[in-house]
Structure 1
Amino acid sequence: MKTLKIALALAMAGGMAAAHADYTFGDVSINQLNWSPSTLDKTQSPTTAFGAKRNFQYLEAEGGAGRSWGDVYGFFDLENWNRHDPQMKSGDQRYTFKVVARFNLTEVAGLPIKLYTHVYDTRDSDTDPQNHFFDQNRVLGLSTDLNFGKVWVHPFLGRHQEMKYGQGTHMNGYMAGYVAGYDFDLFGQSFAVTQWHETEFDRNENHFTGVADPAGVEQKRTGQNGAVSLWWNATKHLTTGVQYRYAVNKLGTSGNEYAWIYTAKYNF
C-alpha cells in the first residue's frame, strides 16, 4: 500500500513527489467534470466571445518514474470522448497532455535544487481553420522538495512561454506553483488529500484571458489555476476520488470558475 500511496500522491496532484528510492507507476481513469451553475451561466452568455464551458467526460492515462537523476510525470486526456457536442465552439473532441520532468542539480542548506521543466498542450480535433484551437504552455525553472511529517510540498518557479492558435508564440511572464499531499488512514482505509496550483503573473498582453466579459471585468496580468482532491484507495488496483477544480482569470474566461470532477481509476 505504501507504493500505491506514493503513486497516488504523484499522479493525482499532477506533479512529482520526492522519493529517494526508484519507483514507477501508471494508471488509467474515467472522469466526469461538472462546472458550477455560475460558471456555465457566465461562459455561455451570447456576448461571451471565448471560453464557453460545458460539462464533459474524459479518459486519462498517466504515469511517472523516479530515478537517481530526478523524476518525470505525464498524462494524456481524451476529452468529450463519448459524444460530438454541436454546442461547443469546435464541436469536437479535445486532446490534452502534460509532461513534467525535474532534474537533480545540487543541494542548498539541505534542500534539493532541481531543474524544473514542463509542457502542457491542449487542442481540439476540428480541422476547420476558423474553429480549430490549440494552446501550449512551456515552463523552465527551479523546484525543490519540502516535507513536514506526512505532508509534502514541492514548489516551483519558472519562466513561462505560451504558443496559442492565432496569437503565435510569446514569452508570457512567469509561473509559480506547487503540488502537495497528505496520506492518512481512516476506519482501516487508505486516503490521500492532494492539491496542485499554478499562478501565472506578468503575462504578455497577447495572452490575457480574452476580451472583457459582459460584466466589464478587466482582464488581468495574473491568473490562478488548480484543484484540491480527496482520494480513497479502495483496493490495490482501484482508486476513486473527487476533485474541486478552480480557476481565476484563466481557461479563456475572466473572473472565477469552479467545477467538480468525479474519478474512478485503475492502478497498474
Structure 2
Amino acid sequence: MNKKLQSGIAALALSISFSSNAAMLAVETGLMDWRSSASDYFGESKNNNPYIKMIGAHGTALGDIYGHVTLENFDNTDIYGTEINLVGQINIGETDFNLYGQVFDKSMPVWGETNTLLGLSWDKNYDNTYVQLAFAAHIVNATYKAFDSNFDEQGFNGGYAYLNISHDLSLFDQDFKFVWWQEFYFGRNEQYLELAGDMEDFGFNGQLRANWIINNNWSVGVSYRYAENNLGKKGYHDAFFYSVQYKF
C-alpha cells in the first residue's frame, strides 16, 4: 500500500473519530461504464472499470468534514489507481458561510496530481434539500511520467467553483436520494493544460446520481458522470456508474 493511500485512510478514519454524533461511514463498490467518448481516447483506463470506495463524514457546531478513499481498476495492476479526497468547512459565526478547504489526490502508474483548494463556501438545508456553493483558489502539484520524469507543474492554477444540490424523496413508501454536483475550473496554467490534456482554459466535471435507499444500511445507485475540457481530455466525455453501498 503506497504512502498516499495510507495517509488518506488514516485521515479519513481520524475525521470520523472525533465523535459518534453526526458521523457517517460507508463502503461502496461498483462499475464505471465509460462511453465511447472516453474509451476511444483513453483505452482500457476508461472503459469498464471496477472500483471500491470508503466514505466518511462528520459534522459539529463548528463545521464539517467529508472524505473518501477510492481504489480503481484493482483487477489490473497496469492501470491501478487511487483517489483521495478530503473536504472541510469551518463555520463563520452564525452565518451560512464557511472557510473552505479541499485536498484531492489522484494517482495512476504514470501520472499523479495533488490539488489543494482554499476559499469560501456557503451551504444551507431547506427541509429535504441541501445546497452548497464554494469558490476557491486552486494550487496543483502534478507529475506526468508518461512525458518525462522532469515534466511537471506546480503552483497556482487559477480558480475553482463548486455547486452541490441534494434532495431526499419518498415515493411509494420507498426512500430515494438525488444528487447533482459540478466543479468548474478557470484561469488555468497553459503548461498544466498541455500536461493534463484538458487543453482549454475553462473546464468542468460533474455527476448526476440517483440512490434507492433500501434500508438503514443498504442502497443502490446509478450515476451519470461527465466532463468538458477536464479529467484529461479536451471536449466532452461521459460514463454511467453503477454502485452498491453499505452504511455502517
| Structure 1: segments with no counterpart, 5+ residues | 1-21, 45-50, 85-90, 127-131, 213-217
**Residues 122 and 133, structure 2, Cα contact 8 Å, conserved in 1:** yes
Q: Which residue of 2 aligns with 1:146?
A: 124
- The DSSP-based 3-state class of the residue aligned with 1:239 is strand
Q: Which has the higher contact order (CA 8 A, sep 6+)?
A: 1
Given the two structures, how large is their TM-score scaled by the length of structure 1?
Answer: 0.78
Work out the CA distance in 1 between the residues paired with 2:196 and 2:99.
35
Indicate yes or no: 2:25 matched with 1:32.
Answer: no
- The DSSP-based 3-state class of the residue aligned with 2:96 is strand
Measured on the aligned residues, the alpha-carbon RMSD in Å equals: 2.1
Work out the CA distance in 1 between the residues paired with 2:99 and 2:158.
18
Shift of the 173–238 alpha-carbon distance from structure 1 to 2, 3 Å rule, reads same
Amino acid across the alignment from 1:158: A
**Residues 139 and 158, structure 1, Cα contact 8 Å, conserved in 2:** yes
Amino acid across the alignment from 1:98: N
Indicate yes or no: 2:147 matched with 1:196.
Answer: no
Residue-by-residue CA offset, 1:96-134 (whole Å, 9 max, x unaligned): 110000001234xxx41100000000112x4xxxxx311
Q: Which residue of 2 aligns with 1:249?
A: 229
- What is the correspondence of 1:82-161 to structure 2 with a 5 Å cutoff? 82-84=75-77, 91-107=78-94, 111-124=95-108, 126=109, 132-161=110-139
Q: Which residue of 1 aligns with 2:168?
A: 183
| Structure 2: segments with no counterpart, 5+ residues | 1-20, 144-150
Residue-by-residue CA offset, 1:137-160 (whole Å, 9 max, x unaligned): 110000111344432211000000
Indicate yes or no: 2:208 matched with 1:231.
Answer: no
Amino acid across the alignment from 1:116: Y
**Residues 209 and 251, structure 1, Cα contact 8 Å, conserved in 2:** no
Greater helix fraction, Structure 1 or Structure 2? 2
How far apart are residue 230 of structure 1 and its match? 0.1
Greater strand fraction, Structure 1 or Structure 2? 2
Count, aligned residues: 222
The 4+ residue runs of structure 1 with deviation greater than 3 A are 146-149, 209-212
